[in-house]
Amino acid sequence: MPRTLPWSHTLLALAVVAVWGSNFVVIRYALDTLPPLTMAALRFTLAFVPALWIARPRVPLGQLAAYAMLIGVAQFGLLYIAMRSAISPGLASLVVQTQVFFTIGLAMLVERERVQRFQFVALALAVAGLAMIALRSRVAGGTPAGIVMVLGAALGWAGGNLVGRRAGRVDMLGYVVWSSAFAVPPLILLALVFEGPAAIAQGIAQAGPVTWLAVAWQAFANTLFGYAVWGWLLARHPAATVAPWSLGVPVIGMASSALLLGEPMPAWKLAASALVMAGLGLNVLWPRLRQWLRARG
């Protein structure tokens, strides 16, 4: 029978899910002042600060650089650009979870992993939900370009998952901290090229306490606390016990966006979201349920 988390570990998992889910609203607040690539560069600059007392993990520098390009530049760069004006926080929190299926696809192509039948069914459910959202994207809180950019962010996240997995059993907090250093230079260069020095300077000059708190929240709460605690839980419990908790991220993301930003949630949008969540849930929970049924049989 699948294991359950002790109460103290359950509270930690809930804390991570709450931080990760609500962070989409926090991103939206910061983007009211800062250009997206500038904000991403500031986030990863702050995330590198703990390197002053955290040792660099014993992995090749090229691997840290690859992880930084996929997570720091591709995932968060594209996500921030999309969330500036092309997609709502709640919708972004849902669409970016398609990284689950991109991870499976990349593992199949790169590492020759076998895809099981239930994963095809899960993908079909999620694609159906995304198709509903795409067809009505302009009233869903997004645009076709915004959805494509967030799907690109999900693909970057999936690539980062595969790179991180090849690192083996390393200190994930140190891995994230030290990879942040490699994300900052390309983000600054991209910001200079596409946003321009004037926009960067204006955004930083206009940033008030709320903006800086939002950036700090992303660097320390979302990145360092979230990854450290999640890695700590995965090191002590089976992935099948910990992974289902991540399904709460888009739920909190959409709920917080509706409550704090007034994002509309009509019935059709909830139905589309339910299809995507059903696909994600089937992919994550079916192996666990199958194991439980076999144990009972």
pLDDT over threshold 60, residue 31: yes
Which pair of structure tokens corresponds to residue 228? Answer: 């450290």
Four-residue CA torsion sign, 93, 38, 50, 173:
positive
- Is 52 contained in some domain? yes
Mean pLDDT on 26-54: 94
C-alpha triplet 223, 134, 67: angle, nearest 5°: 25
Q: Give pLDDT, residue 97.
A: 86
pLDDT over threshold 80, residue 111: no
C-alpha triplet 158, 71, 164: angle, nearest 5°: 60
- Is 56 contained in some domain? yes
pLDDT band at 24 (very low <50, low <70, confident <90, very high): very high
CA separation (Å) from 294 to 16, 155, 230, 241?
A: 31, 34, 28, 17
pLDDT over threshold 80, residue 294: no
- Is 230 contained in some domain? yes
Mean pLDDT on 230-239: 74
CA separation (Å) from 253 to 27, 89, 227?
A: 11, 7, 18
C-alpha triplet 56, 61, 63: angle, nearest 5°: 105
Q: What percent of the chain has pLDDT over 70?
A: 93
pLDDT band at 1 (very low <50, low <70, confident <90, very high): very low
Q: Give pLDDT, residue 238.
A: 67
Q: What percent of the chain has pLDDT over 90?
A: 44
For residues 162 and 193, give the distance between their C-alpha atoms in angstroms, rounded to a whole number. 30
pLDDT over threshold 70, residue 225: yes
Q: Give pLDDT, residue 172.
A: 81
pTM (2 d.p.): 0.87
- Is 161 contained in some domain? yes
Mean pLDDT on 163-169: 79
Q: Give pLDDT, residue 194.
A: 96
Q: Give pLDDT, residue 2.
A: 46
pLDDT over threshold 80, residue 184: yes
Averaged pLDDT score across all residues of the chain = 87
pLDDT band at 25 (very low <50, low <70, confident <90, very high): very high
3-state secondary structure the chain: CCCCCCHHHHHHHHHHHHHHHHHHHHHHHHHCCCCHHHHHHHHHHHHHHHHHCCCCCCCCHHHHHHHHHHHHHHHHHHHHHHHHHCECHHHHHHHHHHHHHHHHHHHHHHCCCCCCHHHHHHHHHHHHHHHHHHHCHHHHCECHHHHHHHHHHHHHHHHHHHHHHHCCCCCHHHHHHHHHHHHHHHHHHHHHHHCHHHHHHHHHHHCCHHHHHHHHHHHHHHHHHHHHHHHHHHHHCCHHHHHHHHHHHHHHHHHHHHHHHCCCCCHHHHHHHHHHHHHHHHHHHHHHHHHHHHHHC
- Is 154 contained in some domain? yes
pLDDT over threshold 80, residue 249: yes
pLDDT over threshold 70, residue 81: yes
pLDDT band at 3 (very low <50, low <70, confident <90, very high): low
pLDDT by residue (tens digit) across 9-18? 889 989 998 9
- Is 2 contained in some domain? no
Q: Quick count: other Cβ atoms within 10 Å of Cβ 152?
A: 19
pLDDT over threshold 80, residue 139: no
- Is 1 contained in some domain? no
Selected residue with higher pLDDT from 95 and 38: 38
Q: Give pLDDT, residue 295.
A: 72
Q: Give pLDDT, residue 138.
A: 65
Q: Give pLDDT, residue 4.
A: 67
Q: Give pLDDT, residue 215.
A: 96
Which pair of structure tokens corresponds to residue 206? Answer: 């206009």
pLDDT by residue (tens digit) across 67-78? 999 999 999 999
Which pair of structure tokens corresponds to residue 37? Answer: 């690539």
Domain count, the chain: 1
Domain range for residue 180?
A: 7-296
Q: Is 111 helix (H, G, I), strand (E, B) or coil?
A: coil
Question: 87 forms bridges with which residues in the sheet?
Answer: 142
